[in-house]
Amino acid sequence: MEILQSGKHEVKIDQGELVSYTFSGKQLIHQKGKPGWKHADTEMFPIIGPTEAVGYRVQVPRGNAVQDQHGLLRELEYELLETSNSSAIYQKTYTAGSVVKNSKYPDKSRMQFLMWPYSFEFRKIFTLNTTGLAITFELKGEPDMPYMLGYHPAFNLQTAHPVVIADGKEIQLEDIIAAGSSALELADCDEVVLKDELSISIKTSGFDNFMFWTEVPNMLCIEPVTFYPYSAPVQLLHEGFHYLGRESKQFRVEIIPREYD
């Protein structure tokens, strides 16, 4: 496990997963084993959203890709490339056509193996300073590779009535729970603030949208996404793809906690 420290901030990363972020001794990240979700964070790539309704096949220029919900990146293991007291770099590598075992099979999926017809490298870079934590995602792959990307962190809630502030509006936890498994969409937005025991700003670059999801009052997933997958019928899910150029593509999420004055 890698531990990053800077001022009042301490971050713990386990095999590329952000499992702890404390600021002034207060825990920002949902802890495994508590109600809500069995993870602390993950990435959704190269697709976001449900695929069961289309037989786990997603239309791409090279034919059909075999993908379960939210893609196959989460099934790959991160390799630690570099670490220091304030930063850590991880990478996942995939070769086109490689068969990947689906951990959801057979309990939560009928698809035993997954496949993507493009090669890619995916880096996750953590950088901590006295302001907050920056998480940069760097994507390299074959030119014209289609992709969607979402970051899926779960935040620890500690008050009875937390509120998300976005574009001058308040989003209540009850509204997010009512949205159910499809999550609550927030389009054309690159920054939100979670008002709880601390004030936590989540600033993004490259995503342009958010999804909010939870089923419990002690946890909230605030998810920057390049595409909200429930905005169209699942048969048109492929219309949400972006396409890589010849240069690598970067996306950034900043988590900036503050105590109230």
Condensed to tens digits (0 to 9), the pLDDT of residues 15-59 reads 999 999 999 999 999 999 999 999 999 999 999 988 998 899 998
Residue 54 CB contacts under 8 Å (≥ 6 apart), including other chains: 234, 235, 237
Residue range 166-217, pLDDT digits in tens: 988 999 999 999 999 999 999 999 999 999 999 999 999 999 999 999 999 9
The Cα 260–Cα 167 span in angstroms is 20
Chain centre to alpha carbon of residue 58: 20
**Residues 41, 152 contacting (CB under 8 angstroms):** yes
The pLDDT of residue 233: 82
User: With 90 as the cut, is the pLDDT of residue 64 above it?
Assistant: no
The pLDDT of residue 243: 97
**Residues 11, 34 contacting (CB under 8 angstroms):** no
Pick the closest to residue 46 from 189, 152, 146, 176 (CA basis): 146
Return phi, psi of residue 69, to 5°. Answer: -55, 130
The pLDDT of residue 235: 81
Give the domain 2-50+73-88+122-258 fold.
Beta-galactosidase; Chain A, domain 5 (2.70.98)
In terms of Cβ atoms closer than 10 Å to its own Cβ (0-12, 13-18, 19+), residue 104 is middle
Helices (H) and strands (E) in the chain, counts: 1, 24
| Residues forming beta bridges with residue 213, ordered by sequence position | 221
User: With 90 as the cut, is the pLDDT of residue 154 above it?
Assistant: yes
What's the pTM value of the predicted model, to 2 decimals? Answer: 0.96
Give the CA dihedral 223, 229, 232, 236, nearest 10 degrees: 160
Q: Enumerate the domain spans of the chain.
A: 2-50+73-88+122-258
| Residues forming beta bridges with residue 257, ordered by sequence position | 200
| DSSP-derived secondary structure letter, 214 | -
Chain centre to alpha carbon of residue 19: 13
Q: Which two tokens stand for residue 256?
A: 């900036």
The pLDDT of residue 232: 79
The pLDDT of residue 105: 94
**Residues 41, 49 contacting (CB under 8 angstroms):** no
